[in-house]
A and B are shown apart, each in its own frame.
Chain A
């Protein structure tokens, strides 16, 4: 127990110490959080009228960001599957970082739900035993369940692996492997259940298509790793984390397959809507071509498609995949493409036109932007701190005091045989 206390203290020291760039970064994030906090105080005082959501478009920017981030969190699995199941050496050391990203993304997801609630003071009403959750019928109760389960599983895994490595001990495969294997279906289920939240609503034809959950998974497998590839390069340069080129190229290759599936499913959906051209076409039409003078989302729709197609080509061709300029360009493009597609591009057309045919064109208010910035600030801060603790442990510079004299262990945890 004293060992663990020492570990916690050491973590605290890691987080507060850092160079000028680190302090600047933390300062910028804290500034964002303050802006978000002030905006949220305003929203809490006046009500959600501080947003541009109305009865016609009753979920919007917050829920769009939530959906995108569930995808980012789910994508940690893309790194877990090959690393642990197939024992790929170059990927192993980066899995921890994937899980840290999932923890940060889930934190943001839960915060976006919180800021979207009309009565966050009544959170007890959804809790098991304390409240009256409408489980198993309500999809939101399922979503809360799987998101929390995935969050705690990731926390447990990361804490266990890091603590063991910090102590220079072997981790126990009998504890570790079942948890890792559990995290795979759980990460898929977080995104599937989130898709079902929209999918199950017969009132909204745009969402009520069985292709929705597969499309969620496919796009998540693009956006999550895109963030990871860029992060790995930053950490490799700043912290000397030994991430091999092969690892990054392998992830990029897997992403190109996911992108193909994503584009194919999108094409399948567009064909069905436009060819059959029933009254349900309206929502797809609002996104891709606009309805009359209502064309707010049209430029975003085509920008999203352009980003996805260009990124797909860049990732498909081996020479551009292995060139860091084109690789990073592809990452940014795929991120932007999925952010539009799985954010506002999913939520807003679901409500436009509304169930009685009215078209209300939604645009976020400054308050919504500020609150979203605050939430991203918190998420980035959580991620920065976790990385600040994890990376020195992985590279062997942050170790238990009794080990400081011992020679440096190999990076990441080593399984006991």
Chain B
């Protein structure tokens, strides 16, 4: 679990190839296309923008200002959009105590609120809580995610929340044809919603159902908009792009806990820096019986399930 080890894994290269040449070609060859596209109402700057990783600090500042302007136009609200990068020496890990989870789904709705998900049509949840029989253990063929009950936990049942597992070997990143999604140095798999072409290859590739598509323009009431946003995280999405859990990148890179963890009434959720020997997540891993979901697929998640009691 060292950083050296991670660089050996096939993640997207950090350094792009010859940006000057690419910029020239883009300008030259796209000229004719641009005229017709702008006639169709497609924004010219967005059309000719460079990949997020190729942006200079000034360009990034302009892009962030533009997202804030778009928020103003769409919601009539002031927002703060950051692009805080991964902190050196940090690799995030998440632990979920299955023996404590009661299936109340407070994490699900805290996530929706924090991350500006579409409320209905389509309703998007980044966390799916599966109800399973204690008798059969973790068996997806018997899992029920639409359980309704006046009181949880129900007798004979246990609850298995699933969200993005932030794989070290992410099949979604491999499948993406445009490098619109990648794994950051702190382990978070992110999406640039302005680069995604909506082909949904990543959704087919993800073994955890963690990726969600904006089948329509997200319905998000202005008064419920979370104004503290990250470019690669909870900023409002347009229709036609994929989104996913980012371990609340807008919070965790500022040293805060993810919203789902704070909402959990039973303390089933643990989060921290895997590289810090004193962190809570390291303690969980060293003292509890830990397993990862669908281990046989060798995705090597940074999300661990365990039974504390």
Contacts and interface: CB of A to CB of B under 8 A. Distances in A.
A54 B215 contact: yes
Interface in B187-220: 195-201, 203-209, 211-217
A137 interface: yes
Given A121-B47, A125-B197, A202 B297 contact: yes
B37 interface: yes
For the residues of A in contact with B, the DSSP-based class is: loop
Contacts of B171: 201-203
Contacts of A351: 204
Nearest to A351: B204
Contacts of B122: 49, 54-55
B99 interface: no
B20 interface: no
Please indicate which of the listed interface residues A140, A197, A353 has the most CB atoms of chain B within 10 Å of its own CB: A140
B25 A129 contact: yes
Interface stretch (A89-97, A112-120, A336-344, A404-412): A112-120
Contact of B240 (A58, A119, A131): A119
Contact of B199 (A53, A55, A140): A140
A229 interface: no
A141 B176 CA distance: 9
A130 B22 CA distance: 6
A356 B26 contact: no
A140 to B, nearest CB: 4
B84 interface: no
Contacts of A140: 175, 177, 199, 201
Contacts of B216: 46-49
B30 interface: yes
Nearest to B193: A119
Nearest to B29: A130
A7 B43 CA distance: 40
A121 to B, nearest CB: 5
Contact of B206 (A51, A53, A137, A203): A203
Contacts of B206: 203, 355
Chain A CB within 10 Å, residue with most, of B130, B199, B241: B199
17 contacts: A49-B215, A55-B209, A116-B199, A116-B200, A118-B199, A118-B240, A121-B42, A125-B180, A125-B197, A130-B29, A130-B30, A132-B51, A201-B171, A203-B205, A203-B206, A355-B140, A357-B141
Interface of A: 46-49, 51, 53-56, 58-59, 113, 116-126, 129-134, 137-141, 144, 197-198, 200-204, 279, 282, 350-351, 353-358
Given A134-B12, A356-B208, A357-B141, 13 more contacts: A59-B204, A117-B199, A118-B197, A119-B196, A119-B241, A122-B178, A124-B30, A129-B22, A134-B177, A138-B176, A203-B205, A356-B145, A357-B130
